[in-house]
Amino acid sequence: MRIGIFCVTLICWNSLFAVIGGFKFHRTQHTERISGSAGDVLDDDPVGRLKVFVYELPSKYNKKFLQKDPRCLTHMFAAEIYMHRFLLTSPVRTLNPEEADWFYTPVYTTCELTPNGLPLPFKSPRMMRSAIKLISSNWPYWNRTEGADHFFIVPHDFAACFHYLEEKAIERGILPLLMRATLVQTFGQRNHVCLKDGSIIIPPYAPPQKMQAHLIPPTTPRSIFVYFRGLFYDVGNDPEGGYYARGARASVWENFKDNPLFDISTEHPTTYYEDMQRAIFCLCPLGWAPWSPRLVEAVVFGCIPVIIADDIVLPFGDAIPWEEIGVFVAETDVPELDTILTSIPIDEILRKQRLLANPSMKQAMLFPQPAQPRDAFHQILNGLARKLPHDVSVFLRPGEKKTLNWTAGPTADLKPW
C-alpha cells in the first residue's frame, strides 16, 4: 500500500543499476524527484549559454607545478587543475576573446605542497598578482572591467584570502586585485570577509574513480546510526584546544565517545567509504574551515550529512536542496546531537535518503574525468551563465577612474613573483 502511494510521487526505477557518467549507482532504491526549480537548475545544460576565453599563461603559473609535484592532482583542492583541463576542451570555450562572456586565468595557487602534502599558500598572492599583471598588459580585456568579467578558481581553505588560519585569513582579506572578479571557491560562510557577493561555492575535489571502486550494494542495511572519522582535537596546531572547529568536534567526542549509537573515532579505516554506505547519518562538522570532503562523500554514499558549521554556505546552494537532504545542527547544540537525530521521524529519514539517491545530486558533487553532463564542472558553468549578461556599469567608460589598488595589501605580497 505504502509503496503504491510512493510511486505516485516518486520516479520508480526498475533497472538494477544504471551507469551515470561512468559512475555506477545500483538502483534498487526509489529515487525522489528534486522538488521545484532546484531540480531543473541542476539539470541545466550550460552549452550555448556562455562563452569562455582561457588566457594562455607561461607554464610556471600552472603546469610546471604539476610536473614538480603530481600530488596536487589528487588532493581536495584539485578542482583548479581539472577545471582548467575541462575548459580547454569544453564547447563553451572560445578562441576569440572579442566574443567571450567570461575570461579565465589558469593559476594553480594550491599546488605548492609541504612534505605532508598540504598546500603552502604563502606565495599565492604574488603569483596571482603577477598573473593579473601579465594578462592586463598583454590583452585589453582586464582593463575594460578591472576583472568584473573574469573568474578565478580559488579552492584553498579560505579562498582568495590565501591563508589556512582563519584569523590570518581575515586579517589579509581577499586579494585586493580580485575584488571585482568572480571567485569560484570551496570556502563558504555567511558574513565572512573571505566570501564576497556573487562568488560561486563549489564542492572540494574527491577522487571519483576511487569512490566508485568502493561502492557496495545499496541493499546493504544501514546498521550504523551515526558515523564520523577524523580529528576531534588538533593538538599540533591548537595545543590549548577549543579553537579548532570552534570546539564543536571536541564536544562531539566528549559527549558521545561512549554512546553506542555513535561510531566515531580518529582512526581512518580502509573500509571508510564502505562504512559511510552502512551509516544513516554522517557527521560533517567544521574543522579549520567550515567545509570538508565529508560533505561530498556523504552525498555520494547516500549517508545523510549532519552539518555542524554555523553560517556555512554550501556548494551550488541554488541547485542543491541542502535543507531537504541534510540535517543542520547549530554548533552550540552539539551536546543534544543524540536527541536531535533520534527525534527525526522515520518518514523524514526515508525521504532524505531517496533524495540522496538521485544521481543528479551525486553527479553535481564530482569532477569526473572525462567530464559528464550535470557534473560539478557543468554546475560551475551554470553558475557563471546565470550571472549573465554583465551589467553595463561594469565596463569602464573612457576616462572613468579605476578602482583597484595595485599597491594595497601586505608588503611581502607586492614583491614580484
Ligand X SMILES: *[C@@H]1O[C@H](CO)[C@@H](O)[C@H](O)[C@H]1NC(C)=O
By CB under 6 A, name the binding residues for ligand X: 136-137, 140, 143, 405, 407-408
72 versus 177: smaller Cβ distance to ligand X: 177
115 versus 410: smaller Cβ distance to ligand X: 410
- Which of 268, 271, 262 is CA-nearest to residue 306? 262
Q: Phi/psi at 391 (nearest 5 deg)?
A: -65, 140
CA 341 from centre of chain: 25
122 versus 406: smaller Cβ distance to ligand X: 406
136 versus 382: smaller Cβ distance to ligand X: 136
Minimum CB separation from ligand X for residue 143, in Å?
4
Rg of the Cα atoms in the chain: 22
90 versus 145: smaller Cβ distance to ligand X: 145
Alpha-carbon distance of 172 to 410, in angstroms, equals 8
Residue 134 CB: number of other CB atoms within 10 A? 16
Minimum CB separation from ligand X for residue 54, in Å?
18
Minimum CB separation from ligand X for residue 235, in Å?
37
Minimum CB separation from ligand X for residue 144, in Å?
9
Residue 181's alpha-carbon distances to 36, 38, 115, 177, 197, in angstroms, are: 31, 26, 32, 8, 10
Contact criterion met (CB below 8 Å) for 155 and 202:
yes
Minimum CB separation from ligand X for residue 94, in Å?
19
344 versus 404: smaller Cβ distance to ligand X: 404
Residue 97 burial (CB < 10 Å; 0-12/13-18/19+)? middle
In which element (H, E) is residue 265 found?
A: strand 262-265
Minimum CB separation from ligand X for residue 400, in Å?
12
Grid cell, residue 35, equals 522538488
Minimum CB separation from ligand X for residue 407, in Å?
5
Q: Compute the CA torsion angle 354, 357, 359, 362 (nearest 10 deg).
A: 120
193 versus 261: smaller Cβ distance to ligand X: 193
Alpha-carbon distance of 231 to 267, in angstroms, equals 9
